Each structure stands twice: as structure tokens, then as C-alpha cells.
């Protein structure tokens, strides 16, 4: 609750600061301050249940230890993202304060979809996330690719929003209580009126679209590639994680009792996502585009939370999104500093920028899922949940084979950085401060610590004030 | 709870790990080298102590257990039993030898090189002591990562492709094993508090729980293969061996020694520790097939070895043949054969390291590894030749050498299992004699040529190291009883599941 209000208010503060403050570097500090305040308020709510504003939400929002921990993780990731990329956000264009304001609005949406208890709140949350993202994607106004990406994203996004609304309408009409509340929709095992089924399928399609699960992923590579890299980083991590969290919450609470009936659909989506994401990523030459496909591939693993729909799967999802977000934010922060986004552009980076190369290696190892990194623990929990479900063990085997494929494209970058000589024709000025390097090391350290002790996150998920 | 927490298993783990991390920080190459050597000697001393105080329950740490992941019931549990003691000793013994033998080699970024070497040692120690499946998986993977970087960074011309093939093979195998581990985990019995009987955890990763896990016979069948493929790739067993010759050839020699001397033992070890006790029925059902593959691989690798002109590839293929015999002996499920595997794991480790040292010496002096281009080294370096001949005899398993004891026992076990397999596998001894003696003859005897004219006698450090290996070969060959005693409990454990 605290986080929802504070992020919304701070978004407005940021907008106003754009009108009154001409100095370009102040918005960054203002934004960092805002996020720190929000984190503190949110942690306070988690620990003591203390609310800053007593608002009766009529049970339309529901806060638990899991929700609040998830929001804390997302806010912390945003903080790291601001700290790492603040200067690069300033470089995107003239409207620095507005970019930050839009990001805060997205965060407000993230908090909403993490706590929703009715379909209406879900819809509002998803829209609050999406609309600022359309703008951020097109924020590099003079770049045709950015414009194209924004338009594509907007058209496809609007279409999926339409489907979602229609799905909500069917579900609303299909349940006897005519209610938007999740627990009312959930009518117990075997109760499957046609309207509910249609609504369920429509909701599944639109949510799959939001989290870029195949076969609804076609917008992802183009949008991620076209958007300014700093915003791709934000979209691929925090937004995607929130989308998944909402996806699982929705299907768990509203349709959990009829899971055996729709599990087959999820199996198909998961298998397609894993295969398409991993196999296409192998052929990419641009690291940015490769990371776009890799984000689809990683979505395949996150879908196991829906497949299993167990307590362990939910815990695992939070761990997975945290691990994935940290590593992806890190690798994008390194990527932004490169002039050349192709894999060859990374050649010999270890000699020129040892810290960047070393931390990037940790991030890539985490994405691959090597033990002693957070990524391994995420994958491990997901596999644990999936095997625990007992059905469709072939899907688990497929997933680990895909993880082996993912080693191929992630390790290509490591190979380029460490084992190949740089083509010395391109010397570039490195705009890298000491604090940036220290931050990268901190992110890498967090990944390793979480990899050794994931209980640091897992224990908080079951915390009740 | 003991107040002084550090015990042998932990010391074996921490000493290389900390030294490895320190090596990254050390700036001077010389200091890094010295630090690495010092730490490896320290580890060796600790390992000696584990043999001397083998009966001391406290120091040997029969129950070193810390809660690790409370929510899923994984604990950091390491201990030293007979086989673990043997293999940690092999690891501890090999690293100083490798460091001293290659002491004069210079590497770019030597500190990173030695740091990664030590980290791989720490990973190996973890694999050999882990008694919790998740801990085991952790170290199993962690031992691989430093080796990946070592080979790709300091290897030969085609190192990147060769190492990557190796990496993808083993990584795929490991992930399949992970699925297997999870499945077995979910079928373990609840862990109860010893006093109250309250359920502490629904499931557990501990070795003992895995052994007591209940699942259907059909599940056991496919689980067996999930695990076995991972181990077979590591050993390697035909047809999973294709990464091996390339990787051995392309890796820097010090790393090849680690790979062939110790890392392949991970596979053998894992079959004995994690496969046979957990899936005894499936192992028995599949033993004909697996022994068949192993025996076929032995003959196949031996025949290829005869054709090899490259010294490194020759040793690589000879290693496949030897490992094949170990695998066959394990699955023959006869006590004498498995006791033979124990002793042979150690013997093969030091013998092959000895061979690599000789290969490396020749390559450093002449710059070539082609058997056809070498000749007459015996005239120039008689001491080197004597040492090599002893090691070569050990490679053929002549009596009085260490390999004889192990191979004799393994053939004995195989013979009891199936006489035809034993007969066919026996051919590999003859083939081993063919390729080994052929190599000795062509490289060391005959006339010197333009390439070998300037070969000098080996230096003192190399003499000492080869001397140590030769002495070890004879000592174990003549008096193997202490080593057999060390591991005698293991075979009994494997053969008596459920009793």
C-alpha cells in the first residue's frame, strides 16, 4: 500500500521537477531519493504492518509477506538500475525528469499487479505499466527503429489489452456471484462453465503476451532491440518479473482449482517458449537482440511456476525473477557502455576493462544457471516445483536440454571477452566511473550470495507481521 | 556441538579455496606460483594426517553437518570415508606434483592460472567428500568452471572449440543428473527429530536418505540413466568420449594432468558413491549393456591409440581404455573387482600424470609431439628414459607395478561376471603393450635426428618428481595392503543395499 501511493506521488513530483528544475542531473538524485524512501516505507509495512495512509481499499488489494517482499525486491532492483544507469538515462534525450516520472508510474503499476485482489485492479495495474512503456520505447525520437518499436508495441499491446478486457468480461459474467473478486471466481474443482473457460483462455493469451511467452512473443525482439538500451533493461527485468508475478497470482487464486484442466495449455506454451527462445537466441549476432531472445527463453523457465502451481513454485518464481533481474540489469549496464553491440564487439574486453568483463561473466554464469550463482537457485527451485508436480516429466527434460543450449550463446560472450583478441581498429572512450565499477561488483556479489544462500529471500516470503 | 569447528574434511576444502582466492589478488607471478605450491603442500600434509588419524571420529569429521537451505532440507554435509580419503589423498598428492613438474612453465597472468587451478582443486575435494546430493552437485559443477577457463585461456590452437565441446557435454550431463537428483529427493522419507519424532523436513538430500528412498522399479530404470549419462560423460565411457582426446590435446599440460589424473575419477567415484547404492536393481539390470560398452570402448580406444602419431592423443586414448576397464569392473559387482577399482583409481592417477610429465618434457625440449619425428632420446637423457620406461610398464600393468595389482583384481572380478567379456577385455592388455612399447621404442631408442639432437637431461625438480612417482609405483605394486585396507568398507557398502 505504502509503495503504491508513494510511487504515484513521486511520479508527479518528478514531473513537476521537470517543469521547475532546469539542471539536468538533479532529477536523477531526486529519483534515487524517491526510490529509497519508497523502499523504507515498504519494508516498514512488511515488518510492522504500519501504513502511512489509512485508506479503505475494500479488499480490492491484498498485501501479504510474499507480495511485499516481491515489491521490495523489485524496488531494490530499480534502485540498482537507477544507480547503474542514471547517467545513461540522462543521455537518451532532453526530458530527463519525464523519463524518471514514467518509470515511477510503471513502478506504481508493478505494485498494483503484485497486490491485486480483483480483476479490475489487475487491469488497471497492467495498463499503468504498459502506457508509460510505450512512451519510453519511443523516447529516442530521432531514431526510426525506436519509433517503429514504439508503434509496434503500442498496437500489439492495445490488442492484447482488448483481449484481456474481453476475458475479464466473460469471467465476470460466468461466475454466479457476478464478481471481479478472485476468490468468488474460484468455484472449486470441476466447476467450468463455458463463459469461464473462454475468459480463462483469453486471459491466458493476454498475459502470455505481456510476459512474452511463445507463441505471443513476436513483438519482444523488435521492441527490445528498438527501444533505447537503458529502457530495454528496465522492460526486460522489472516489468517482466511483475507480469509473471501477476500471471501466477491470477491463475493461482482465480483458476487454481481447475488447474488440471488448463495445465495442458501451459505445457504447450512452456515448451514452445523454451524452444523458440533458446533456438533463436543461438543465431543472433547482436548481443542486445540475443538478450531479447534470452529473455523469452528465461520466461520459459518462469512458466514452470504456473505449470506446478505449488508453494515451492511461487517461492521459486520470486527467487527466479530476482536472480534474472539482477543479472540482466547488470549485463545491460555493461552493454550500454559498449560502442559495438555485436558479439565481436566484446572481443578482448577482459584486457581493456577487467572489472566489466569479470562482472559480466558472473551475470552470464548466473543466467546460464551455474551453481553458486542466484540463477542456479532459481532454476533449481523451478525444476523442484516442476518435478514435484509429477506430470509431464518430459517437459523438465526438455527444459534442462534448453538450459544446456543457453550455455552456448551466453558463453559465446564470455569467450569473446576472455579468449579472443580485440580488433584494435576501434578504440573507444570509456565513460566509466569508479562508482559504476563498484556497483557492478556489488550486484555480482549479491548474485553470488543469493546463489549460496537463497534462504535470504525465501524466508521473507513467509514472513507475517 | 564442538567448539573448534575445523576438521579434516573442511580443512581439505578451505585450504585450496582460500589460497585460490588469494592468488587472484597476488600481483607478482612468482609469488602466486609460490603461494600455489605452498598451499598444495599444506593440503598434502592435511591429507596425510587424514590417513594417520583415520580412526579418530572427531578429526575425520564423520558427521560434519551444517544446515544450509533450511526450507528444502539441504545441509552442508561433508565427511571422509575410505574412498573419500583415498581420492582426496590422490588430489592432494597430485597437485604439488603438477605444480613442481611445470614449475618452469611461464603463463600469461600466472596468478589467475594458479588461482583457477587451486579452485578446481577445492571443487574436487568437495566432490569427494560431499554426503549431500545438492552439495555434491554444487561441487561437481564448480570443479568444471575453473577448468573451462584454464583450457580456453591457456590451451592450444583449437582450444576454444575443444573446451567448449567438453563444457557442453558435461553441462548437459550434469543438468540431467540434477533432474534425477530432484526426483529422488522428492521420493525420500521425511526427516524426523531423533528425540521427539516430529517431522523436521518432508524430504532430504542426504546420502543416507537417498539410499533409503522408495520409488517404483520403472522409475528406477530411467533415473539410473539420468545419473549414469552424467557420470559416463565425465569418465568417459564409449560413446560419450568424443570430447576427451580433443580436450586433452588442446589443454595446457598442467590442466590435462588434472583432467586425466583426477577429474575422470570423479565419474568413477560418483558411480560408486551415488549410483550403485541408490539404484542397485537398475545397475544389475543394465550391467551387461554397460560392461559391453566399456569393453567395446577399451578395444576401440586401444586400436585408435595404436594408430596415433601424436603423443598427447596416444595417452588420451590409452586413458579411455583404462577407465573402461574400471567401469566394467564396477558393474561386474564382485567385491574383488571393486577393491581393484579403488586401488586402480589411485594408480591410474599417478601413472598418467607421470606420462604427461614426460610428454611435456619432450615437447618443451623439442617442440614436437609427433612420434614419427622423434627418436634416440635415450642417448641424450638416460635418466628420463629409465623413469619413462617404469611408468610405461605401469601403464601396461606389468607385475611389481601398481597398476598390476588393480588390473589383476578387476579382471578377476570381470572374469567371475562373464568369461567372454573378460577374455575380450584381456586383449586390451596386449594392445596396451603394443602402443606403449611402440611409443617407447620410436621416441627413446634408435638414432637421434635433427630434432632430438639437442635434448638435454632433465633438471633436478623433474628428476625428483618423476622419482617420487616411480617410487610410488613400486611401493603400491609390491605392498598394496594398506591401500586395500583403507577402502575395504566401500565395496561392502555397495554390495549390501537394503540390509
Residues A394-411 have pLDDT tens digits of 999 999 999 999 999 999
Mapping DSSP to helix (H, G, I), strand (E, B) and coil, where does residue A193 land?
coil
pLDDT score of A427: 64
Q: How far is CA A406 from CA A244, A297, A371, A447, in A?
A: 21, 8, 15, 19
Tens of pLDDT, residues B382-404 = 888 888 889 988 888 888 888 88
Q: Cβ distance B295 to B239 under 8 Å?
A: no
Q: What is the pLDDT of residues A22-62, one digit of tens each?
A: 887 888 899 999 999 999 999 988 888 888 888 888 889 98
pLDDT (mean) for A363-389: 92
Phi, psi of B343 (to 5 degrees): -70, -35
Which residues of chain B make contact with A371, given a CB cutoff of 8 A?
137-138, 141-142
B135 to chain A: nearest residue by CA? A371
Closest by Cα among B172, B217, B162 to A397: B172
d(CA A430, CA B453): 53
Q: CB distance from B186 to chain A under 8 Å?
A: yes
Residue B290 resides in a domain: no
CA distance B113 to B106: 10
The minimal CB distance from B152 to the residues A403, A404, A418 is found for A418
pLDDT number for residue B499: 37
Instruction: Name residues 431-460 of chain B within 8 A of A (Cβ).
Output: none
In the prediction, which pLDDT does A84 show?
Answer: 92
- Are both B253 and B326 inside the same structural domain? no
Overall domain count for chain B? 2
Among A146, A148, A191, CA closest to A171: A191
Query: In this structure, is residue B287 part of a structural domain?
Result: no
Three-state secondary-structure class, residue A181? strand
Domain annotation covers residue B231: yes
The answer for B 392-421 residues in CB contact with A (under 8 A) is none
Cis peptide before A185 (omega within 30 of 0): no
b/e sequence A282-296, b meaning 16+ C-beta within 10 Å = eebebbbbbbbbbbb
| Averaged pLDDT of chain B | 85
A81 has a pLDDT exceeding 60: yes
B34 lies in the same domain as B85: yes
B257 and B306 belong to one structural domain: no
Whether residues B228 and B309 fall in one domain: no
Q: B178 lies in a domain?
A: yes
Q: Do B219 and B151 belong together in one domain? A: yes
Residues B268 and B342 in one domain: no
Indicate whether A346 pLDDT > 50: yes
Q: Which residue has the higher pLDDT, B24 or A360?
A: A360
| Whether residue B343 sits in one domain with residue B452 | yes
Q: Which of B278, B313, B346 is the last residue of a domain?
A: B278
Please check whether residue A380 touches B, CB under 8 A: yes
Residue B1 — very low, low, confident or very high, per pLDDT cuts 50/70/90? very low
Q: Which residue has the cell 504500519?
A: A50
* Nearest-CA distance B269 → chain A (Å): 21
Q: Verify cis geometry, omega within 30 degrees of 0, for the bond prior to B36.
A: no
- Kindly tell me if the per-residue pLDDT of A148 is higher than 60: yes
pLDDT at B57 (0 to 100): 62
Q: Which residues of B321-340 are buried (b: 16+ CB within 10 A; e: fewer)?
A: bbbbbbbbbbbbbbbbbbbb
Are both B239 and B366 inside the same structural domain?
A: no
CB-nearest to B160 from A400, A415, A455 is A415
**Residue range B228-248, pLDDT digits in tens:** 999 999 888 888 888 888 888
pLDDT at A355 over 60: yes
Mean pLDDT computed over every residue of chain A:
90
pLDDT at residue number A390? 82
State residue B498's pLDDT score: 41
Q: What is the pLDDT of residue B64?
A: 55
Count of CB contacts below 8 A, A vs B?
70
Is residue B206 in some structural domain? yes
Asked if B25 reaches chain A (Cβ–Cβ under 8 Å), the answer is no
B497 pLDDT above the threshold of 60: no
**Among B115, B121, B64, B61, CA closest to B90:** B121
pTM of the prediction? 0.92
DSSP A337: T
Highest mean pLDDT among A42-56, A300-314, A450-464: A300-314
| B138 contacts chain A (CB < 8 A) | yes
Closest CA to A137 of A126, A123, A148: A148
Residue B492 has pLDDT above 90, yes or no: no
Tens digits of residue pLDDT in B31-73: 888 888 899 999 898 888 888 776 666 655 555 567 777 778 7
Residues B343 and B229 grouped into a single domain: no
Residues A306 and A287 sit within 8 Å (Cβ to Cβ): no
pLDDT tier for residue B491 given thresholds of 50, 70 and 90: low
Instruction: Let me know if residue B284 belongs to a domain.
Output: no
Look at residue A402 in the predicted model and tell me its pLDDT: 92
Instruction: Give the closest of A396, A404, A415 to B171, CB-based.
Output: A404
Integer Cα distance of A57 and A115 in angstroms: 11
> Shortest Cα distance from B334 to chain A (angstroms)?
34
Q: Do residues B358 and B102 lie in contact, with contact meaning Cβ atoms separated by under 8 Å?
A: no
Q: Give domain status of residue B285, yes or no.
A: no
Q: Is the pLDDT of residue B261 over 90?
A: no
pLDDT exceeds cutoff 50 at B2? no
Give per-residue pLDDT as tens, A205-250: 999 999 999 889 999 999 999 999 999 999 999 999 999 999 999 9
* B319 inside domain: yes
Residue of chain A nearest B159, judged by CA positions: A419
| Contact residues on chain B for A404, CB-CB shorter than 8 A | 168, 171-172, 175
Question: Residue A465 pLDDT more than 80?
Answer: no
Rounded to 5°, the CA angle B270-A415-A453 comes to 50
Q: Cα-flanking dihedrals φ and ψ of residue A340, to 5°?
A: -110, 120
- B71 reaches A (C-beta below 8 A): yes
DSSP A385-398: HHHHH-S-HHHHHH
The ipTM value here is 0.90
Model confidence pLDDT, tens digit, residues B89-119:
899 999 998 888 888 777 888 888 899 999 9
Asked if residues A422 and A342 have their Cβ atoms less than 8 Å apart, the reply is no
User: Quick check: A407 and B186 CB within 8 A?
Assistant: no
Same domain, B462 and B412: yes
> What is the reported pLDDT for A110?
95
Q: How far apart are CA B442 and CA B381, in angstroms?
A: 15
pLDDT > 70 fraction of chain B, expressed in percent and rounded: 94
CA distances from A117 to A114, A168, A258, A435, B4 (A): 9, 13, 19, 41, 52
Identify the pLDDT of residue A424: 65
Q: Name residues 382-411 of chain A within 8 A of B (Cβ).
A: 383-384, 387-388, 393, 396-397, 400-401, 403-404, 407-408, 411
Q: Is pLDDT above 70 for B493?
A: no
Residue whose entry in the numeric block shows the C-alpha cell 482488448:
A162
B432: domain range? Answer: 296-499
Tens-place pLDDT, residues B123-181: 999 999 888 899 999 999 888 899 999 888 888 788 888 888 888 899 999 999 999 99
DSSP A345: G
Cβ contacts of A419 on chain B, cutoff 8 Å? 152-153, 159-160
Would an 8 Å CB–CB cutoff place A449 in contact with chain B?
no
CB A312 within 8 A of CB A381: yes
Assess whether B313 and B264 both reside in one domain: no
Which one of A383, A408, A420 has the shortest CB-CB distance to B182? Answer: A383
Residue that finishes a domain, picked among B218, B243, B278:
B278
CA distance B146 to B24: 13
**B272 and B332 belong to one structural domain:** no
Amino acid at each position: 500500500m505504502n509503495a503504491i501511493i508513494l510511487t504515484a506521488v513521486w511520479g508527479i513530483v518528478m514531473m513537476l521537477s521537470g517543469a521547475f528544475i532546469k539542471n539536468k542531473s538533479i532529477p536523477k538524485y531526486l529519483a534515487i531519493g524517491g526510490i529509497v524512501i519508497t523502499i523504507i516505507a515498504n519494508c516498514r509495512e512488511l515488518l510492522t504492518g504500519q501504513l502511512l495512509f489509512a485508506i479503505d481499499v475494500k479488499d480490492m488489494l491484498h498485501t501479504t509477506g510474499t507480495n511485499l517482499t516481491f515489491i521490495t525486491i523489485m524496488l531494490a532492483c530499480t534502485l540498482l538500475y537507477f544507480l547503474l544507469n542514471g547517467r545513461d538515462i540522462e543521455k537518451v534525450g532532453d526530458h530527463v525528469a519525464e523519463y524518471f516520472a514514467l518509470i515511477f508510474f510503471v513502478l506504481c503499476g508493478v505494485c498494483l499487479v503484485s497486490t491485486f485482489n480483483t480483476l479490475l485492479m489487475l487491469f488497471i495495474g497492467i495498463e499503468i505499466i504498459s502506457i508509460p512503456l510505450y512512451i519510453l520505447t519511443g523516447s529516442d525520437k530521432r531514431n526510426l527503429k525506436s519509433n517503429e518499436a514504439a508503434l509496434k508495441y503500442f498496437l500489439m499491446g492495445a490488442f492484447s489489452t482488448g483481449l484481456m478486457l474481453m476475458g475479464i468480461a466473460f469471467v465476470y459474467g460466468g461466475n454466479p456471484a457476478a464478481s471481479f473478486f478472485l476468490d468468488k471466481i474460484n468455484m472449486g474443482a470441476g466447476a467450468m462453465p463455458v463463459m469461464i473457460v473462454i475468459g480463462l483462455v483469453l486471459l491466458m493469451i493476454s498475459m502470455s503476451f505481456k510476459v512474452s511467452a511463445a507463441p505471443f512473443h513476436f513483438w519482444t525482439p523488435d521492441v527490445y532491440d528498438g527501444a533505447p538500451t537503458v529502457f530495454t533493461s528496465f522492460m526486460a527485468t522489472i516489468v517482466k518479473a511483475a507480469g509473471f508475478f501477476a500471471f501466477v497470482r491470477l491463475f493461482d487464486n482465480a483458476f487454481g482449482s481447475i488447474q488440471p484442466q488448463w495445465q495442458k495449455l501451459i505445457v504447450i506454451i512452456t515448451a514452445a517458449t523454451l524452444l523458440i527462445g533458446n533456438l533463436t537466441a543461438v543465431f543472433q549476432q547482436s548481443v542486445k537482440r540475443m538478450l531479447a531472445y534470452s529473455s523469452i527463453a528465461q520466461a520459459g523457465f518462469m512458466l514452470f511456476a504456473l505449470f506446478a502451481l505449488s508453494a515451492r513454485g511461487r517461492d521459486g518464481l520470486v527467487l527466479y525473477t530476482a536472480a534474472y533481474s539482477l543479472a540482466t540489469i547488470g549485463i545491460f549496464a555493461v552493454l550500454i557502455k559498449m560502442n559495438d553491440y555485436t558479439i565481436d564487439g566484446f572481443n578482448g574486453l577482459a584486457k581493456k576493462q577487467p572489472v566489466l568483463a569479470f562482472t559480466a561473466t558472473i551475470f552470464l554464469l548466473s543466467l546460464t544457471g551455474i551453481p553458486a550463482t542466484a540463477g542456479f537457485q532459481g532454476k533449481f527451485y523451478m525444476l523442484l516445483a516442476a518435478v514435484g508436480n509429477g506430470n509431464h516429466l518430459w517437459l523438465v527434460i526438455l527444459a534442462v536440454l534448453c538450459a544446456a543450449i543457453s550455455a552456448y550463446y551466453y558463453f559465446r560472450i564470455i569467450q569473446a571477452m576472455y579468449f579472443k583478441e580485440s580488433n584494435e581498429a576501434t578504440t573507444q572512450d570509456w565513460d566509466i566511473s569508479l562508482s559504476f565499477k563498484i556497483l557492478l561488483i556489488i550486484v555480482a556479489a549479491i548474485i553470488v550470495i543469493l546463489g549460496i544462500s537463497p534462504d535470504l529471500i525465501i524466508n521473507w516470503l513467509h514472513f507475517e507481521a | 556441538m564442538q567448539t573448534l569447528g575445523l576438521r579434516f574434511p573442511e580443512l581439505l576444502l578451505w585450504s585450496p579455496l582460500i589460497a585460490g582466492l588469494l592468488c587472484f589478488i597476488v600481483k607478482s607471478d612468482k609469488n602466486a606460483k609460490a603461494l600455489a605450491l605452498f598451499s598444495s603442500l599444506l593440503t598434502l600434509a592435511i591429507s596425510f594426517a587424514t590417513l594417520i588419524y583415520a580412526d579418530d571420529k572427531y578429526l575425520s569429521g564423520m558427521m560434519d553437518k551444517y544446515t544450509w537451505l533450511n526450507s528444502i532440507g539441504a545441509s552442508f554435509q561433508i565427511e571422509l570415508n575410505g574412498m573419500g580419503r583415498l581420492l582426496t589423498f590422490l588430489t592432494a598428492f597430485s597437485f604439488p606434483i603438477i605444480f613442481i613438474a611445470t614449475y618452469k612453465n611461464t603463463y600469461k597472468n600466472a596468478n589467475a592460472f594458479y588461482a583457477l587451478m587451486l579452485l578446481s582443486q577445492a571443487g574436487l575435494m568437495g566432490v569427494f567428500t560431499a554426503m549431500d546430493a545438492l552439495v555434491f552437485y554444487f561441487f561437481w559443477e564448480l570443479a568444471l568452471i575453473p577448468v573451462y577457463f584454464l583450457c580456453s585461456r591457456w590451451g592450444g590452437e583449437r582450444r576454444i572449440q575443444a573446451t567448449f565441446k567438453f563444457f557442453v557435454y558435461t553441462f548437459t550431463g550434469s543438468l540431467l543428473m540434477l533432474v534425477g537428483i530432484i526426483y529422488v529427493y522428492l521420493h525420500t522419507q521425511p526427516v524426523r527429530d531423533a528425540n521427539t519424532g516430529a517431522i523436521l523436513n518432508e524430504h532430504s538430500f542426504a546420502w543416507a536418505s537417498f539410499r533409503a528412498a522408495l520409488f517404483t522399479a520403472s522409475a528406477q530404470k530411467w533415473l539410473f540413466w539420468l545419473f549414469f549419462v552424467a557420470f559416463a560423460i565425465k569418465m568417459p565411457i564409449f560413446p560419450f568420449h568424443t570430447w576427451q582426446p580433443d580436450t586433452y590435446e588442446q589443454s595446457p599440460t598442467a590442466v590435462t594432468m588434472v583432467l586425466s589424473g583426477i577429474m575422470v575419477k570423479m565419474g568413477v567415484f560418483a558411480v560408486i558413491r551415488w549410483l550403485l547404492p541408490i539404484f542397485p536393481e537398475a545397475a544389475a539390470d543394465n550391467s551387461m549393456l554397460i560392461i559391453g560398452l566399456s569393453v567395446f570402448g577399451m578395444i576401440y580406444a586401444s586400436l585408435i591409440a595404436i594408430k596415433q602419431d601424436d603423443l598427447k592423443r596416444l595417452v588420451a586414448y590409452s586413458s579411455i581404455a583404462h577407465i573402461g576397464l574400471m567401469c566394467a569392473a564396477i558393474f561386474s559387482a564382485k567385491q574383488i573387482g571393486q577393491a581393484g577399482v579403488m586401488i586402480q583409481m589411485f594408480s591410474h592417477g599417478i601413472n598418467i600424470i607421470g606420462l604427461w610429465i614426460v610428454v611435456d618434457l619432450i615437447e618443451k625440449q623439442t617442440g614436437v609431439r609427433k612420434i614419427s619425428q622423434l627418436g634416440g632420446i635415450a642417448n641424450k637423457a638416460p635418466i628420463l628414459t629409465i623413469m619413462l620406461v617404469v611408468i610405461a610398464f605401469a601403464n601396461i600393468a606389468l607385475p611389481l607395478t601398481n597398476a598390476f595389482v588393480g588390473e589383476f583384481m578387476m579382471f578377476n572380478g570381470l572374469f567371475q561376471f562373464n568369461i567372454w567379456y573378460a577374455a575380450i577385455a584381456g586383449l586390451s592388455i596386449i594392445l596396451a603393450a603394443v602402443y606403449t612399447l611402440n611409443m617407447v621404442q620410436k621416441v627413446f631408442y634408435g638414432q637421434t635426428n635433427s630434432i632430438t639432437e639437442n635434448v638435454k637431461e632433465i633438471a633436478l625438480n623433474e628428476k625428483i618428481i618423476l622419482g617420487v612417482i616411480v617410487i610410488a609405483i613400486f611401493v603400491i605394486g609390491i605392498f598394496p595392503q594398506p591401500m586395500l585396507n583403507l577402502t575395504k568398507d566401500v565395496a561392502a557398502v555397495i554390495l549390501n543395499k537394503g540390509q
